[in-house]
Chain A
């Protein structure tokens, strides 16, 4: 059976079958000769590829020879190969074969069959080499079964043993001199075995720890970038997700760092501002001329224009819009406001001259809800400062009112989940204004009905019941739990705490 079977056939079973066929049937009495014969047969027939099976058989054969008589039972069992089933054969193999480490047998055995395949005539030498090799296999084989229990140690020892075997194998494999293959294999062996001996850091330089390369922050560059971004084109403003953020028309350099306030009708005011900036002389600052101009333009929506005027002072500035001058301008405007705020009464209105002229006949009514009021001027002011450069009122009444309303407008746009037009948002603001008006009226009526002058939560509950929000099925507490955050819930819903106390007290 000198044919080389294909890989698929060379299972241990087939190899054993071959062994059986070639082996001398009268093996039990003469295990040695049988084994030798088996070995020779193996050498002739075995394909160089399936080494592990050969290794096992070789090892088995050799280990049988090397083992004490105590193993004779196994040997005899192996001798009765024909009577045994493949299962017993494999069992014997497993019992006797070394714990096959993937590395060891192959690499050590590689040089062995290769010379055999190349030069079958040199069987004896190869046998000799085999024999030479096998003693190296023995120590690992004897060691390996003894180490079955400790798993990890087994591997480590195998490695060290492997290295020993390698060294010895290296020395031995050089013995078949003139064997180009062997030498090449040796070289390959050297190559393959050389690497584990190197220290790991040299082996894997990428794993070595490197100090993190941190660049020092260039403060100057950072500030420059800050300024540059503050001068960014209005595209940024357009992309701003805040509602009512105004697109800067006519003043491209104006992205100011202040947060955009809510103001509708910003565009009109801005355009007017842009126009007015050029027309009106720069009284004190570049900021100031812009502000009143905006008021003028924005008087249609005064509230908005006002807020617009104040916080978007920079929008009027077409000149350099550094952050610092902007702040300076704002500070100056505030100072001016303080000056002029004193003579004014409750209404804090924009001190723009032209706006005042326009709103001369408007009542300076402190009614917040009305949309048509913001810039009610006081007449004495008008007379006093005709040529005065207009400064905006920084904190007029409408501005925080708008700011507060903006909170609900944002909520509206959040609940709507759809993009909205600015006009629609203005409409929402108007609706909210009306709503607040109605709400206050109703609460007043309810409180009066209960003979109180203080609005209590019961009035609120009654209001919500009338609105249909609170029903017999849905109580107020349920709504509170649903819509308000935890902190408010704790304040609203009485809850018992330790120490026999209820908070809030009922």
Chain B
């Protein structure tokens, strides 16, 4: 079971921003607000940077605990560190 839960890494990722998804999310959460045209791209940028930082932190945690695989706890610790 433990082995099957490890997900192998992707070698290639899409760089496109899920603009529709972002717009929808924003609309759902704040229906009273409007998002500007290129605003969702900046939101996407923000997400990218956030995910990047989170991944780096998780990776650091995993390496610190000398695990080969990133664990739930590593991610949690990283999230706590960044903001909570």
Contacts and interface: CB of A to CB of B under 8 A. Distances in A.
Interface of A: 238-239, 241, 243-244, 247, 366-369, 400-401, 403-404, 407-408, 410-428, 431-432, 434-440, 443-444, 447, 453-457, 459-461, 463-464, 467, 469, 476, 479-480, 483-485, 488, 491-492, 504
Contacts of A484: 15, 17, 41, 44-45, 48
Given A244-B7, A415-B56, A424-B75, A404 B70 contact: no
A438 B58 contact: no
Contacts of B52: 411, 415
A-B CB proximity, top 7 nearest: A404-B21, A415-B55, A460-B42, A416-B55, A422-B5, A454-B34, A440-B29
A488 to B, nearest CB: 5
Interface of B: 4-11, 13-18, 21-22, 24-26, 28-30, 32-39, 41-52, 54-56, 58-59, 62, 68-72, 74-76, 79, 83
Contact of B33 (A403, A410, A414, A443): A443
Given A436-B25, A444-B30, A419 B38 contact: no
B6 A421 contact: yes
Contacts of A417: 9, 59
Nearest to B7: A243
Contact of B47 (A408, A410, A459): A408
B7 to A, nearest CB: 4
A414 B7 contact: no
B30 to A, nearest CB: 5
A382 to B, nearest CB: 25
B75 A403 contact: no
A411 B34 contact: no
A480 B45 contact: yes
Contacts of A367: 28-29
| Most chain B CB atoms below 10 A, which of A404, A407, A480 | A407
The majority secondary structure among interface residues of chain A is helix
10 contacts: A367-B29, A414-B13, A418-B68, A419-B6, A436-B25, A443-B30, A447-B33, A454-B35, A460-B46, A491-B41
Contacts of A467: 46, 49
A476 B50 CA distance: 15
Nearest to A434: B79
A410 B76 contact: no
Contacts of B55: 412-416
A464 B26 CA distance: 17
A423 B62 contact: no
B26 A421 contact: no
A483 B44 CA distance: 10
A414 B49 contact: no
Given A418-B69, A419-B70, A431 B9 contact: no
B8 A419 contact: yes
Most A C-beta atoms less than 10 A away, residue of B6, B22, B62, B70: B70
B7 A460 contact: no
Contact of A419 (B36, B48, B69, B75): B69
Given A401-B25, A431-B75, A483 B9 contact: no
A456 B36 contact: yes
Given A414-B9, A419-B70, A463-B46, A431 B29 contact: no
Given A238-B4, A424-B74, A485-B15, A439 B69 contact: no
Nearest to A369: B29
Contacts of B24: 400-401, 404
Given A369-B29, A415-B51, A492 B6 contact: no
Contacts of B16: 485
A488 B41 contact: yes
